[in-house]
Amino acid sequence: MATIFEKIIKRELPSHIHYEDEEVICIDDKYPQAPIHFLVITKKVIPSIHELESSDYYLLGKIFDVIKSMTVKLGIEDSYRVLTNHGSQAGQTVPHLHFHVLGGGKLGAKGIK
């Protein structure tokens, strides 16, 4: 069964796309936890960071290049948080590697204060 991210990548579900190339896509989070909250998602289906193989490590550089560009574009390059979850107890709800980027306000331990 396809994940929500696979459906967005295939344009089966709508999403606001900030950036896309052949390997990653950057979209707004549907349930933002900060004034600015976007996701950078691998197009290759990798269930989580724990399942990355050494041949996939280049994707991490690509992801962080996109994060850097997007934070500048959105004006939060001076202060933002990047996170990924592995496993349901850590908060992972979609089994597809993605990174959350949050900013645009003071972030506390659980998000914006």
Residues sharing a CB contact under 8 Å with residue 66, sequence separation 6 or more, in sequence order: 19, 24, 26, 40
Measured distance CA(53)–CA(70) in Å, rounded: 26
Residues sharing a CB contact under 8 Å with residue 84, sequence separation 6 or more, in sequence order: 48, 49, 97, 98, 99, 100
For 1-113, strand residue ranges (E) read 17-20, 24-28, 36-42, 80-83, 98-103, 107-108, 111-112
Which residue in 16, 18, 50, 98 is the catalytic one? 98
Question: Can 96 be counted among the known catalytic residues?
Answer: no
Give me the amino acid identity at 64: F
Give the catalytic positions in this structure.
98
